[in-house]
Each structure stands twice: as structure tokens, then as C-alpha cells.
Structure 1
Amino acid sequence: MAGGPGEPGEWRGSLRAALGGLTTRGRSFLAAGGAAVVCAYVLGQADLLRVGVLLTALPLVCVGALHRTRHRVAASRRLSPASVPTGTEAGVHLLVENVSRMPTGVLMLQDRVPYVLGSRPRFVLDRVEPGGRRQVSYRVRSDLRGRYPLGPLQLRLTDPFGLVELTRSFSSYDTLTVVPRTEPLPAVRLAGEAAGWDEGRQRSLATAGDDDVIPRGYRHGDDLRRVHWRSTARYGELMVRREEQPHRPRCTVLLDTRLRAWAGSGPGSAFEWAVSGAASVVVHLLERGYSVRLLTTTGAPLPGPEGTGPGSSPSETAGLLLEALAVVERSREPGLSRAVDALEGGDGEHGGLLVAFLGRLDEEDGALVRRMRHRVGGALAFVPRVPGEPAAGDGPRRTLREAGWTALPYAPGDALPALWRQADRAGGLAPGRTVGGER
């Protein structure tokens, strides 16, 4: 039986496959029957011969019956939801329908599930009448982010004696996306951020007079209330006011993905904390109206070279970025040079805010973090805490402080909202600040 979701699969295989479906019990019956026939021939026992023939014939009859049985079964799978944060359960609902004119026997269902999501679920369905449906459900949960295939679904058909078992599989599968867990962050004033969406809109409307309007051509979807009639009459085509487009604050979130910069692995590692922190900052800033760009130290923007699209809503952009963070991996990139090139390449505009989740830094990285700081208006870095480090900070924190960054140390398990609030207390992310108050 093979077919996609909702497509019927026909249960009919070759005789060789049916013989290969003999269970241990069926093979034992054949062996015992053959031995009884041989002993009956040697000893001349007619009663033992009849027993041997019965033991040998019963598995073969069951093989022939299952071989000639035709079942048309359709199956579909539904995930609710299809994307969940780490540590959260998702429901998987399986629907099996008998689309043939004959009832089925006992069906055993098994769905293939990666080991990180738990054990493989198994179900037993009694006789399904023609046109009948059966629905079963199970739940999966993962503490590791990523994309995990669910399926294909396997169905097993057995005879009443348990002598033969035939297995058929559907070819389709679904994908469960486990995204990093996000935490709600408090609203703090960040250095280097421009005015918000509403403030920028009010300021542009208040300062721009009719003579200061720079019109542009009408585009599909523009509000007709923005049509500038004087320019329309001058150019002979519909023109709209450009100054009503508010200036959105900009932020770049940088995630250090260098393999050598992180120690340990697993859900409790510093790298996973950084991935979850980057996801929380991205969602928080998008909710505040920021234009967010997510970079890794490979220089590649996430979710891809095409970005998220200028017309995407904040929720759509957040979803795409979270799905990209679900599969981000550590790379063998040796340094931060590609990340610096990506920041300097950009779109030609300076300023904005940079929030970086960094790993271990060496002396060579010092010059590169200085170049990053010159590119942006405000810079905040989360760096792993070194055991025994003084409050003022040494090593990486001192390097960042001297370069004009605001450096916040963390350890896996620390609450990001508290650190985010400390950043505001550290002088509104003023350049040259660290937690501890020392410049």
C-alpha cells in the first residue's frame, strides 16, 4: 500500500512478499509440520502425518488468504501546530479511511518518529467497515530545535492466528519545526535607536509643508488619500506624497556561529542560550516596529539572501526568522571578518542599533569589533561569563568596552529579561558601559 495523504493505497503484494511476511510463529509451524511429516514417513505413523500436514498447510493458507486480500486504505496526517518552541508539545492526528468495498481485518499502525521526539507510536485498529474512518492521535515534544520529519506511516495486516504479517508504507511525510523558545522582554530605551513608527510619522507630517513634498509615482495598493494633486497635474500621472512614509528604526541582530567560539553542546549550552536570546530580541524589536536584520558570523543573512521581503508583516517576518534560527548550526568560520563585511556592505546607511550574541573573543577579534562599533549608532553585546571574572570585566568584556560597546555577561540559564533591563540601567546602552557601572 502506497500513496500520499488522502490518496488511497491498494493492499496487494507478490506471493514472495507474502511468504516473507511469515512471523516467528508461522515459521515454527512450518518447521514443526515438516519435521512431523518426515517422522511420520520414517515411522509409518498415519496420524502423525495428518498432524504434520495440518501444521504445514495452516501458514500457507494464511499466506494465500492475505496475498489475495485487496484493501484500499487512505491515510492523512495533521500537525497542530506545525511549529512549536522547544520544550512544547505538538499534536499529531492520523486519519485512516477504508475506501474499498470490503471490510479490513485488524490493522496495526506505526508512525515513524525521530528518536528526539520520543518513541514510535503504535495503534491497533479493529475491523474497519467499507467507507469507515478511524482517527488516532499522539503527541511529540523536543528539547532540541530543528526540523523533524514525521512519517511515513506504516500499516501492518495480520491473520487471526498471527502466522503472517504484511507491512505496507505510505510515501508521504510531514515536517515539524521546533523553533527556539522566546521570552518577553521589557520595553527599555535603547541608545542608537531612531524615533519610533508613530513619532517619525507625526514629525514628518508636522515639519513637511506642501512645498517640501517629494512625490513619487503611484503604486498599486497606495492609499488614494495620499495622492498629491498638484504634482499629478504637473506630470500627467498619479503622484503620491512620499513624506507620509514613516522612518522605521533599524536594528541588526548578530549571532556568533563560529565553532571555536563556543564550548559544550545540547539544550543547556551557551550557544543554545544565545540562539534563544537572539530569537527573543528579534521578536521583541519587530513588535516595537523595528526593521530587523538577522546576521550570522558567516556573513549570510537569515532566513536567506532574499531576506524577509519589504511587504512582510512583523508576525510573518518573526515567523520566518524563527524558522531560520531553528536550523542554524555552528560553522567553521575562523573569525568575524565576514560579519564585518556584511555590516559595512548593508544598504549604504549608517546608524541603527546592533545587538550581538558573541562567543569567546581573541586578540584578533578586537580590531574587528571596533570596526563593527563604528558602523552603528549603538552596540550591545552579550558575552559568556568567565568563571572568577571580576565585576569590572576582563578579557572579552574589556575589549568590547574599550571599543565602545555595552557588554553584558551571561551564563546558560540566566533570565534574558533581567539582562535586558540591566542594559537600560547601564546608561541606556551608552557607549563604553558594562554591567558594574565602570567605563
Structure 2
Amino acid sequence: MAAGIPGPVENGDAKGGLRASLGGLTTRGRSFLAAGVAAAVCAYALGQGDLLRVGLLLAVLPLICVTVLHRTRYQVSGSRWLSPSRVPVGSEARVHLRMDNVSRLPTDLLMLQDSVPYVLGPRPRFVLDRVEAGGVREVSYRVRSDLRGRYPLGPLQLRLSDPFGMCELTRSFSAYDTLVVIPRTVPLPPLRLTGEASGYGDGRQRSLALAGEDDIIPRGYRHGDDLRRVHWRSTARYGELMVRREEQPQRARCTVLLDTRRIAYQDAGPDSAFEWAVSGAASALVHMLERGFAVRLLTDEGNAVPDGSAEGFAGPTQESADSAGLMMDTLAVVDHSDGGGLSRAHDVLRGTNEGLLVAFFGDLDEEQAAVAARMRQRSRGAVAFVLDSDGWAHGRPPVPHASDSGRLRLLREAGWTVVPVPPGAEIARLWQQAGRERSDAHPAAAGPAAGFQGGRS
């Protein structure tokens, strides 16, 4: 944020600006003005000339202060930056403010106040001493939130006061900044969920293009490319310099599905089942991106993030940090959906040949359990973390019911690795449990691996 404030007043017209300045009279200034008017009226009624002079002095003094403060023409510019601008839930960020006096005159006493949402804490206020011409003052404050979201910071307000305390004027900068509070993520252990052979490195695989000029996939020339790789036939066809892409990188795919249905969660708040599911999805996304997977976030409404590449995956050419930031920004503001089913997510999954599917479900009735079971058909491996919202809402371990066992059994029979999530469970421990259950079902999957193994893109 950077802005300048001339005077530091920006008035549309002189009369309107002066009228607004009169509205800045403090209690002391209004008292002086009222006492002066009262003394002048009494002096006129009683014929007392000395009292009239005292009344005029009391009434004129605050008006003089308003006029002088209104006509002050020094300039101040302000800037704000966040460190960092994206923080997990419960972590602190520091907001730095800088004030520059860009005029040739020193300022009087300045009072700064930044506008912050109440969930980040009280409004910070600072008093700056006289700032010399060309001088700089820097202050900072900390903000912290236990609730994820996007929070605007600003505008920065500057308050001016005269030496007698008769008038205070408040002027605001026009720029805002945004603090993004993302879900808390937990480091997850590297495990393998399928019996397929491990891929190249952290789940990445590479394949050479078939030999022959007709099978070479060209791309646009980039600075630093070897000129011996220029593909002249494609260059003539497209009218721009093209080079051979002899090696096509491929990555294992992973879809993280987050169930946001309102009817699937009973409680609310920082320690609710829904917040646990959001945090679990964030941890899984970061873990799979760090292992080199092409990852996407999918909700029950069928919304996929990122959506810049085909089928909504973060493509191999995208930086993992950018992809993670985009998905974390989405999870920072994700809320309950009013939909009652998972059919839209199933339609998205049905149209692609998936790799690994990691899902975080709320309560599932028989119909939605059947829809979730069908999602497994297009995936090489599938893991479901199923939360019992009733147990989370009442803070007690989930009580097994025959119907619940039937729904979980339906998922297992469809090929899902199902992990029930009790209240307050640690995602890292459940992640390991999912790996053990999959290893028991597929002994060939046992052994160290870089991450949950899935299909290739």
C-alpha cells in the first residue's frame, strides 16, 4: 500500500472541506465555542464589554485552530507490507507501516490508526513525534487469527491535532492489503498405498518420445535453449522459432476431494469436524505436491482447483509453490455448500483416468456412500477419511452402528481404504494407519516409498 495525502487533506471543495473540519472539533473545542457564545450573549444582555471580549476570545480560539489545521499543506505518504502475507491458522504475521514526510515542512504530532478486522485483534494505534522534512518513521504490529479466511487490512488513518487539542482531523489512505489465513498443515510420512511399482524419484516418471520427425512434439523457443534442437518444419508452419521437446515429463496424479456439504457436519468452530477435514485436505495437498505429483483440489460441488490445465490438474510446467498457494487460498475461504450430494464430484472424476484419490468425507448416508463407492472405479488407489460429525459435535468417541458399518463396508468392497476419524485425531497417525491397511490388503505395496503411489498423467 502506498498513497499520498496532500495537506494531508483531500477536499472536493473548500466549503465542504471546511465544514468537515468543523466536525472535527474535540470536546474541549466544542466547550470553548459554547462557552464563548454564552459569554457573548450574556455580555450583550448585561452590557458588559469586558465579558464580551472574553466570550469572543473563547469562541474564536477553536475556530482559529480549525482554520489553521485545515490549511496545513504538508504532504505525507504511507506504505504497508506484510511479513508474511499468507500464514497458517494460529500463527502470527507482522504488519510494517512506514510514513514519509515528502513536504518541505516538518509535521506536528501525528496519530496513526490501522483498520483491522476484530478477529485479528484490537486496532493498532501509534503516536508519531514531529517528523522533519523528508523524514521517515516506521512502526509495526502483529496480527493473529484462529479462524482461516481472507482479511482486509486498511485503510490506514492519519489523525492531526492542533497544539491546544481543540480540533482533530482524520484522513484515510485509499489502499488496502489482504492477509490470507490458510488452514494448518501437518507434515505427513511418506507411504505407498498401492501395490504398483514405485515410479521415478518422488512419484515422477519420464518417457522418451517415439523416434522420428513426425512424432516429435515441438514447443516455442525459450531463452537458453540449444539451437541444435530447433525444429525447422514446425518453425515454418507456425511462423515462430520452435524447438524439439524430446523428453516429455509425466507425473503421477492425485485428486484430493473435500466434502463440504452442510448436512454432513453438525458442529462449527475452530475445533469442528469440518475444520479438521479442511486441515487434512491441506496437509494432503502439500504432501503430494512435495512428492512431485500433479495435484488438484476437488469439492463436492465439482469445483476443481487449479483449473488452468486440462482436467484441472496442476500441470508439470507449473511451479509447485504457485499451485500450493492457489489451492491454499481456496481452502482459506472454503465454506459449507448447500448441496446434498456428491454426484457433481462423481461426474468430474468419471471423465478422467485418475491416479490416487484422497477423500475427506463427512457423514454419509446410504445413497451418498453408494455414490462415493462408484468414484473408486476410475482411480488406481483411493483413501477415504470418514468423519462422524455427531461424535465431533458432542466430543465423544464415535459409537459404531450397524448402518455405519454397512456404509464403510460398501466403500471397502468398492476398493477404498477407509479410515474412520475420531474426534481430535491426528492426521499424521491416520495417514500411517491408511498405509498399513493398504499394505495388509496389498502385500506387494509394503516397503519404503516416496509417497502414496498413483497412476501417471
How far, CA to CA, are the matches of 2:158 and 2:137 in structure 1? 13
Paired amino acid for 1:330: H
Paired amino acid for 1:76: S
How far, CA to CA, are the matches of 1:125 and 1:16 in structure 2? 27
Q: Is the 8 A contact 2:150 2:181 kept in 1?
A: yes
How far, CA to CA, are the matches of 1:398 and 1:174 in structure 2? 49
Note the 1:225-236 alignment, pairs <5 A.
none
* Residue 290 (structure 1) aligned to one of 290, 293, 315: 293
Q: Is the 8 A contact 1:193 1:250 kept in 2?
A: no
How far, CA to CA, are the matches of 1:303 and 1:7 in structure 2? 37
For 1:136, the equivalent position in structure 2 comes to 139
Q: Is the 8 A contact 1:379 1:429 kept in 2?
A: no
Give SS of 1:197's match: coil
Listed one character per residue, the Cα deviations across residues 270-312 of structure 1 (whole Å, up to 9, x for unaligned) are 1111111101101111111111121001101014465545411
CA shift, 1:35, in A, is 1.5
How far, CA to CA, are the matches of 2:159 and 2:59 in structure 1? 23
For 1:389, the equivalent position in structure 2 comes to 399
CA shift, 1:149, in A, is 0.8
Give SS of 2:126's match: strand
What TM-score do you get using the length of structure 1 for normalisation? 0.86
* Residue 251 (structure 2) aligned to one of 243, 248, 253: 248
CA shift, 1:109, in A, is 0.6
Q: 1:27 to 1:201 in 2, by over 3 A?
A: closer
Matched, 1:322 2:328: yes
Q: Is the 8 A contact 2:250 2:316 kept in 1?
A: no
* Residue 318 (structure 2) aligned to one of 298, 309, 312: 312
Note the 1:109-128 alignment, pairs <5 A.
109-128=112-131
How far, CA to CA, are the matches of 1:305 and 1:416 in structure 2? 29
For 1:11, the equivalent position in structure 2 comes to 8
CA shift, 1:407, in A, is 1.2
Q: Which runs of 5+ in 2 are unaligned?
A: 12-16, 392-396, 443-457
* Residue 302 (structure 1) aligned to one of 305, 309, 322: 305
Higher relative contact order (CA 8 A, sep 6+): 2
Matched, 1:344 2:350: yes
Q: Is the 8 A contact 1:197 1:248 kept in 2?
A: no
How far, CA to CA, are the matches of 1:199 and 1:359 in structure 2? 30
How far, CA to CA, are the matches of 2:358 and 2:7 in structure 1? 56
Q: Which runs of 5+ in 1 are unaligned?
A: 432-439
Paired amino acid for 1:152: P
Listed one character per residue, the Cα deviations across residues 189-224 of structure 1 (whole Å, up to 9, x for unaligned) are 11276633338878857xx9979x953335535965
* Residue 145 (structure 1) aligned to one of 148, 151, 170: 148
* Residue 22 (structure 1) aligned to one of 20, 25, 28: 25
Give SS of 1:73's match: strand
Q: Is the 8 A contact 1:196 1:289 kept in 2?
A: no
How far, CA to CA, are the matches of 1:45 and 1:193 in structure 2? 105
Identical-pair percentage: 60
For 1:332, the equivalent position in structure 2 comes to 338
How far, CA to CA, are the matches of 2:203 and 2:91 in structure 1? 39
Q: Is the 8 A contact 2:370 2:410 kept in 1?
A: no
CA shift, 1:39, in A, is 2.2
Paired amino acid for 1:216: I
Of the structure 1 ranges 8-17 and 416-425, higher mean CA displacement relative to structure 2 is found in 8-17
Paired amino acid for 2:2: P
Q: Is the 8 A contact 2:194 2:439 kept in 1?
A: yes
* Residue 410 (structure 1) aligned to one of 407, 421, 424: 421
How far, CA to CA, are the matches of 1:417 and 1:362 in structure 2? 27
Listed one character per residue, the Cα deviations across residues 241-293 of structure 1 (whole Å, up to 9, x for unaligned) are 75x43442111110011111112222111111111110110111111111112
How far, CA to CA, are the matches of 1:401 and 1:378 in structure 2? 12
How far, CA to CA, are the matches of 2:196 and 2:60 in structure 1? 83
How far, CA to CA, are the matches of 2:322 and 2:370 in structure 1? 36
Matched, 1:215 2:216: yes
For 2:357, the equivalent position in structure 1 comes to 354
Q: Is the 8 A contact 1:156 1:165 kept in 2?
A: yes
Give SS of 2:286's match: helix
Paired amino acid for 2:430: L
Q: 1:150 to 1:199 in 2, by over 3 A?
A: closer
Q: 1:367 to 1:226 in 2, by over 3 A?
A: farther
Give SS of 2:248's match: coil
How far, CA to CA, are the matches of 1:412 and 1:96 in structure 2? 48
How far, CA to CA, are the matches of 1:152 and 1:338 in structure 2? 41
How far, CA to CA, are the matches of 2:300 and 2:267 in structure 1? 19
Q: 1:150 to 1:409 in 2, by over 3 A?
A: same
For 2:14, the equivalent position in structure 1 comes to none
Listed one character per residue, the Cα deviations across residues 122-145 of structure 1 (whole Å, up to 9, x for unaligned) are 111111111111111111111111
Q: How many residues align?
A: 418
Q: Is the 8 A contact 1:194 1:250 kept in 2?
A: no
CA shift, 1:163, in A, is 1.0
For 2:194, the equivalent position in structure 1 comes to 191
CA shift, 1:427, in A, is 3.0
Q: 1:9 to 1:360 in 2, by over 3 A?
A: farther
Of the structure 1 ranges 398-407 and 262-271, higher mean CA displacement relative to structure 2 is found in 398-407
For 2:159, the equivalent position in structure 1 comes to 156
Of the structure 1 ranges 72-81 and 317-326, higher mean CA displacement relative to structure 2 is found in 317-326
Note the 1:418-433 alignment, pairs <5 A.
418-428=429-439, 430=441
How far, CA to CA, are the matches of 1:145 and 1:282 in structure 2? 17
How far, CA to CA, are the matches of 2:136 and 2:296 in structure 1? 48
Paired amino acid for 1:421: Q
How far, CA to CA, are the matches of 2:169 and 2:36 in structure 1? 22
What TM-score do you get using the length of structure 2 for normalisation? 0.83
Paired amino acid for 1:11: P
How far, CA to CA, are the matches of 1:342 and 1:363 in structure 2? 21
Q: Is the 8 A contact 1:145 1:178 kept in 2?
A: yes
CA shift, 1:351, in A, is 4.5
CA shift, 1:398, in A, is 3.1
Q: 1:36 to 1:245 in 2, by over 3 A?
A: same
For 1:39, the equivalent position in structure 2 comes to 42
